[in-house]
Structure 1
Amino acid sequence: MTRPLELGFAVNLLDRSGAEREEGDYAQIAAHPDTLHVVISGESAVLLNGSEQATALLPAARLAGETVIERTFLGRLDGRPVLGALLEAARGQELKDDLSLLVTDLRSIAIERPVPAGEIGLLAQAKSLLHWHLRRRHCANCGARTSPAQAGQRRDCAACGAQHFPRTDPVTIMLVARGDHCLLGRQSRFVQGSYSCLAGFVSPGETIEDAVRREVREEAGIRVGKVRYMLSQPWPFPSSLMIGCLGEALEETLTIDFDELEDARWFPREEVAAMLERRHEGGLITPPQMAIAHHLIRAWVDGASPTG
């Protein structure tokens, strides 16, 4: 399945330049006028307002005088180095008063798209990596303080020699279908009337296919046969990879786990199409285009099936 441009956080034009992480004076690079910064403050990004469009790439001069609590090398864009810079969450609130800046959360950016599509993936990369540093200040092996290494792509413990690497948590998200009906559910935190695909974290030692089958069985009581991978999406809340699949339901009777779901039901293809297009008589909807669930549902409505 071709990755749609509307899919949030999935387009990243950066050359990650892994070979550069071993060497280099990054304090000097950070101050160089050619260096660009992706700035994160708390759960928000700090964007530079332009006459027509904002940008997530701030010049080094815009960080003069700012207290950067974490900095990491992200890669290069058109040959220019790009660093991630983390500010205190309270500083982001203060910067909202600066009309030359736009401080907003990443979900809003993925939906409203105030920046070019190729910069949204940059923001996900920066937020996931910088927040990992924020949460991993101490060694999980001995408890001693760790320090950044490899230009921020690793943290090292001088006390016991342990090396710690950024983690990404795999999550399966699946549209399960049986004939001309698909299974959609909702949680109480969802927008009113919104139904989406089921999802869940992959367990240690588990394949993607088995994770799909287990999660659907646990949440809806449905056995799943064939599983087909479709597409993936970085999800920086805090740092997951959404693995989108279609699954073939082997039965119809639902047994809903109401601790996980507020509701789940089978929907016919015509009704799901109306939900996608925001013309459902009952006001039911599917997730917006920035979410991988939208594109899994769209693919099924357009004829994709778990069996290929």
Structure 2
Amino acid sequence: MNNPAANCSFTQMTLDRVSNKRKDDEWLLAQLAQENCQIIPVCHNSFFFVENDLFILQGESKYKILTSELTSKVKTHQLVFLGINDSTPIFAIDISSIEEAELPNVFSNNLELVNLRATLALTSHEQASILGFANNLLHWNKSNRFCGFCGTATQANNGGHSISCTNSECKKEIFPRTDPVVIMLVEYKPENGPVQCLLAEHDRSPEMCASTLAGFVDPAETLEQGVIREVKEEVGLNVYDVEYVKSQPWPFPSSLMLGFYAKTNDPTIKIDDDEIRDAKWFTADEVRAFSNWGDEDEHYKIPRKGSIARYLIDTWLEAN
């Protein structure tokens, strides 16, 4: 297997988020009214495609959804501003509340609804980054329709990039959150023989799909401490030389993957059965013989292209 390290999905954002202007509602309405404005419809965390091309509301179809009776069903927090791409304003709209039978009133009948993960096979890194951003921001808006402090309904501000409580005695302002997740490739160098990396089968993954370890960062914990703790909890190893490598937004729905390498001088594995099904040490040559994620055979599978787990493994293979 020859897989040079490639860019991770969702990392090639090309939009200018125009954070200094999007706070102005009149400016946002002016962008929405522009002839070249594009609106990406999102339905239950999925996107519409026509013959493998992303379907975007623009021109007549854009005005249909903004002026038709369907607009009354588009609730607060369901239209967000993403940014500007080469003078083109781009918005996203959550139409999950619209009945499927009503969609032909606005859209053509030859649309295919594709979930965000599956869109990676149909989009460029740049387009995938925009779709991930849209999914993340709309999910956050949908999850914060009521104030977590007083329970009052909220309203979207700043093009969907902030939310405020409508209770005049509360007025709590809320901003999008990102959940930090450390993901790490652990290395062991025996006294005799080639260097090895640790790969694990996770309970949430198919059989024979081996990947890196990962876990959420705890409150009041540094990223390095998170790496050390997660490795210890999941496979019982003590690690050192924790080295940051690369990050990747992971909009499922709102994580930021932070990639690390770490080393251990004791290869004894003690698996946490609650999270890990199996974990083993592999040499670089053994990993190169793995099949790809999704292949239907009895070999071990390497994580899918575009994931930071794949990036960490590919980069390690290049060095070994």
TM-score for both structures, normalised by structure 1: 0.88
Letter in 2 for 1:146: T
Q: CA deviation at 1:208?
A: 1.0
* Correspondence 1:238-249 to 2 at 5 A: 238-249=253-264
Other-structure match for 1:270: 285
State the Cα RMSD in Å.
Answer: 2.5
Runs of 4+ in structure 1 displaced over 6 angstroms?
none
SS in 2 for 1:10: coil
Instruction: Within 5 Å, give how 1:5-84 maps onto structure 2.
Output: 5=7, 7-25=8-26, 26-47=28-49, 49=50, 54-55=53-54, 57-59=56-58, 61-63=60-62, 64=64, 65=68, 66-67=70-71, 68-69=74-75, 70-84=78-92
Measured against aligned partners, the alpha-carbon deviations of 1:207-248 in whole angstroms (never above 9, x if no partner) come to 111111100000000001011111111111111011111111
Give the match's secondary structure for 1:302.
Answer: helix
Query: Normalising by the residue count of structure 2, what TM-score does the alignment of the two structures yield?
Result: 0.85
Q: Distance in 2 between matches of 1:269 and 1:3?
A: 14
Q: How far does the alpha carbon of each residue in 1:94-153 deviate from its partner, in whole angstroms, 9 at most, with x for none?
A: 75994543320111111x1x2333110000101000010101011111111110011211
Q: Measured at CA, do residues 99 and 290 of structure 1 come closer, stay the same or move farther in structure 2, by a change above 3 Å?
A: farther
**Pairwise CA distance, 1:158:** 2.6
Aligned to 1:85: 93
| 2:311 counterpart of 1:303 | no
Whole-angstrom distance in 2 between the partners of 1:154 and 1:91: 28
Select between 83-92 and 121-130 the one with higher mean Cα deviation: 83-92
Letter aligned with residue 130 of structure 2: L
**1:87-126 to 2 correspondence within 5 Å?**
87-88=95-96, 91=99, 98-110=108-120, 112=121, 114-126=122-134
Count of residues in Structure 1 that have an aligned counterpart in Structure 2: 297
CA 81–92 in structure 1, closer or farther in 2 if over 3 Å, else same? farther
Aligned letter for 1:284? Y
Letter in 2 for 1:293: A
Who is 1:229 aligned against? 244
> 1 CA distance for matches of 2:205 and 2:263?
25
> Partner amino acid for 1:71?
L
* Counterpart position of 1:130: 138
The one-letter code sitting in structure 1 at the alignment partner of 2:177 is: R
* Alignment partners' CA distance in 2, 1:276 and 1:295: 16
For residues 88 and 267 of structure 1, what CA distance do their matches in structure 2 show?
45
Identity percentage over the alignment? 33
**Max radius of gyration: which structure?**
2
CA distances 1:238-282 after superposition (whole Å, capped 9, x unpaired): 110111111112311111000011111111221111116689x95
Q: Are residues 1:202 and 2:217 paired? A: yes
Q: Please tell me whether the aligned partners of residues 33 and 61 of structure 1 are also in contact (alpha carbons under 8 angstroms).
A: no
TM-superposed CA distance for 1:27, in Å, is 4.2
> What is the aligned partner in structure 1 of residue 192 from structure 2?
none
Q: Distance in 2 between matches of 1:232 and 1:92?
A: 37
Residue equivalent to 2:308: 292
CA contact (8 A) 1:234 1:241 kept: yes
Q: Where do 5+ consecutive residues of structure 2 fail to align? A: 190-194
Q: What displacement does 1:191 show? A: 2.4
Change (3 A) 1:95 1:249: farther
Check conservation: 1:32, 1:60, Cα contact below 8 A: no
Could you say which residue in structure 2 is the equivalent of 1:158?
A: 166
Change (3 A) 1:267 1:282: farther
User: 1:94 and 1:194 mapped to 2: Cα distance?
Assistant: 41
Check 1:139–1:182 CA distance in 2 against 1; reply closer, same or farther (3 A cut).
same
For 1:211-222, list aligned pairs within 5 A.
211-222=226-237
1:119/1:277 CA distance change after superposition, 3 Å: closer
The one-letter amino acid of 2:31's match is I
TM superposition shift of 1:57 = 4.1
CA contact (8 A) 1:41 1:91 kept: no
Give, in angstroms, the shift of residue 91 of structure 1. 4.7
